[in-house]
Amino acid sequence: MSVSAARLIEELRRAGIADERVLAAIGRVPRDQFVPAAFLEHAWDNVALPIGHGQTISQPLVVALMTVALELTDRHKVLEIGTGSGYQTAVLAPLCRRVFTIERHQALLQEANKRFAALRLGNVTSRFGDGTKGWPEPAPFDRILVTAAAAKLPASLPELLAPGGVLVAPVGEEKGRQMLVRMRRTEDGFETEELGAVRFVPLVEGLPRNPRSTAEAASP
């Protein structure tokens, strides 16, 4: 682990992150490979950074909190809505059996796929598409993580959870109050709990205008 990574991990510990599996995963992911060159000097700071297309790479503390909230094991199949830079995906990959991740900005997805290949993340499958519709074909999922905030969570996403499954998502208006929510699928329906205030870019329905092409890719 680099000195910069070790410093970040200690900062996350002081902030209350105690899950050593999650801390180890964050320590192994080279965050400097996921940020634009213009922000490289801040790659290991505990801050969110812009990555283009109106998107951000999340603050490491938020990545840690959301990953801990998923309660992952190496048997879980995970759906991630919003690949972005691929940083959160790379943190999830060593903690679960497989990650399916969807991104609506094709340029971001192409760059993320290059990073997955370089890091040899063989259990990540990515798809260009509308994340609000989920990914029904490989469903059900043991865990679902949404990395953008919806005023109201799309009804299609919880339905993709397996019995006993967990969904973690920020919910709230773009310029209003946003809350990180954890939803569990039970025999009787869904149980929801609030985990704390957060700030995320909005979850947008549909695809950007004139995407270059549709694409689906799996890392080797």
Cite the active site residues. 58
Query: Which residues are 172's β-sheet partners?
Result: 178
CA distance 217 to 194: 34
Question: Alpha-carbon distance 182 to 184, whole Å?
Answer: 7
Q: Hey, which residues does 56 pair with through a beta bridge?
A: 50
**Under a CB-based contact definition with an 8 Å cutoff, are residues 140 and 160 in contact?**
yes
Cα–Cα distances (Å) from 72 to 38, 48, 168, in that order, read: 33, 23, 12
**3-class DSSP state of 62:** helix
Q: Which amino acid is at 53?
A: H
